[in-house]
């Protein structure tokens, strides 16, 4: 089985962290291919950057998906998820969607930890789009750029653990979701210090992608996630144009 990991940011450091975390989660025999966008924001931190990165998701998916059995969007806003799911025949998993749905099966109320108050509404919008806003016990926004730099971050680890414990004690969270693709593998490392399950989207996304690829469910032939058919596009990349020219 081969799973495509798409980083719609342009940061190779993020891709490296995603791939390292995905390897810890993947089953024996699963091959991982990670790709990074060649255009757009270094790290998505605004609505407009997210819109630009949606194009990157589609471009990377169109170019690299053929040799893969499933795809995980390694951006925690699940950037371009619906478009990629419509266009491709293989399962497409959003990392935050996967973390949220996994959390729903592990407990009742979900505690959400994000990085940066500015992007908090963006994450709230993602959760609401899945109809899961009512499952969220509380939110914590950590103001730190440390995750996007190399090396160990002991102080950040202490802050994450503190916020997770606070969500459990004050908000009665029963599962913690740590957002951000750069957090791949971090919850598992910090789990002994927190009394409820801690999840990251890459680990959950890889496991969900393996499940869906193994199940071999058919591509919808009807509805909004069926292929859009032959469409005329102007001045897009060749790989994207080919996806539409191929039809359903």
The DSSP string of 47-90 is HHHHHHHHHHHHHHHHHHGGG-SEEEE-STT-TTHHHHHHH-SS
Q: Are 210 and 173 within one domain?
A: no
> Between 93 and 239, whose confidence is greater?
93
- pLDDT value at position 161? 97
Q: Are 102 and 192 within one domain?
A: yes
Q: Are 77 and 116 within one domain?
A: no
Looking at the chain, how many residues does it have? 248
- pLDDT value at position 229? 87
Q: Are 88 and 17 within one domain?
A: yes
- Asked whether 189 and 11 are in contact (CB, 8 A), the reply is no
How much is the average pLDDT of 187-199?
A: 97
- Asked whether 145 and 168 are in contact (CB, 8 A), the reply is no
pLDDT confidence bin for 247, thresholds 50/70/90: very low
% of the chain surpassing 90 pLDDT: 86
Q: Are 8 and 87 within one domain?
A: yes
- pLDDT value at position 69? 97
Q: Are 126 and 40 within one domain?
A: no
pLDDT confidence bin for 248, thresholds 50/70/90: very low
pLDDT in tens, 144-181: 877 777 767 889 999 999 999 999 999 999 999 999 99
pLDDT in tens, 210-225: 999 999 999 999 999 9
Q: Are 159 and 76 within one domain?
A: no
136: domain CATH number?
Answer: 3.40.50.12500
Q: Are 38 and 113 within one domain?
A: no
- pLDDT value at position 74? 98
pLDDT in tens, 49-107: 999 999 999 999 999 999 999 999 999 999 999 999 999 999 999 999 999 999 999 99
Range of the domain at 22: 2-94+204-245
User: Cα(133)–Cα(121) distance, rounded to whole angstroms?
Assistant: 12
Q: Are 115 and 167 within one domain?
A: yes
Taking CA atoms, 150 is separated from 9, 154, 203, 231, 245, in Å, by 17, 12, 20, 43, 42
- pLDDT value at position 186? 95
- pLDDT value at position 246? 52
**Is 0.85 topped by the overall pTM?**
yes
Q: Are 71 and 102 within one domain?
A: no
Residue 4 phi, psi dihedral angles, 5° rounding: -90, 125
Q: Are 197 and 211 within one domain?
A: no
Taking CA atoms, 179 is separated from 48, 182, 200, 204, 218, in Å, by 19, 8, 6, 12, 30
The tally of domains found in the chain comes to: 2
By DSSP bridging, strand 198-200 and strand 175-178 are parallel
> Between 134 and 233, whose confidence is greater?
134
Sheet of 70-73, strands arranged across: 31-36, 2-7, 70-73, 92-94
Q: Are 190 and 222 within one domain?
A: no
Tell me the pLDDT of the chain averaged across its residues: 94
How much is the average pLDDT of 37-44?
A: 95
């Amino acid at each position: 089985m081969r799973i495509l990991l798409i980083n719609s940011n342009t940061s190779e450091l993020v891709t490296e962290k995603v791939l390292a975390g995905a390897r810890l989660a993947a089953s024996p025999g699963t091959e991982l291919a990670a790709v990074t966008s060649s255009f757009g924001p270094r790290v998505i931190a605004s609505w407009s950057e997210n819109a630009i990165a949606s194009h990157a998701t589609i471009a990377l998916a169109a170019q690299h998906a053929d040799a893969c059995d499933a795809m995980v969007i390694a951006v925690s806003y699940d950037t371009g998820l619906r478009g990629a799911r419509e266009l491709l025949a293989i399962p497409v998993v959003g990392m935050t969607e996967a973390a949220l749905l996994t959390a729903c099966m592990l407990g009742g109320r979900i505690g959400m930890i994000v990085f940066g108050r500015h992007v908090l509404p963006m994450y709230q919008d993602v959760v609401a789009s899945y109809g899961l806003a009512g499952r969220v016990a509380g939110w914590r926004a950590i103001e730190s750029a440390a995750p996007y730099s190399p090396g160990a971050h002991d102080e950040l680890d202490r802050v994450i653990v503190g916020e997770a414990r606070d969500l459990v004690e004050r908000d009665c969270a029963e599962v913690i979701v740590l957002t951000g693709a750069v957090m791949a593998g971090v919850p598992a490392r910090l789990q002994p210090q927190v009394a409820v399950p801690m999840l990251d989207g890459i680990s959950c996304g890889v496991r969900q992608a393996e499940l869906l690829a193994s199940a071999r469910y058919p591509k919808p032939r009807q509805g909004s996630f069926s292929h859009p058919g032959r469409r005329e596009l102007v001045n897009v990349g060749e790989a994207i144009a080919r996806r539409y020219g191929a039809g359903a």
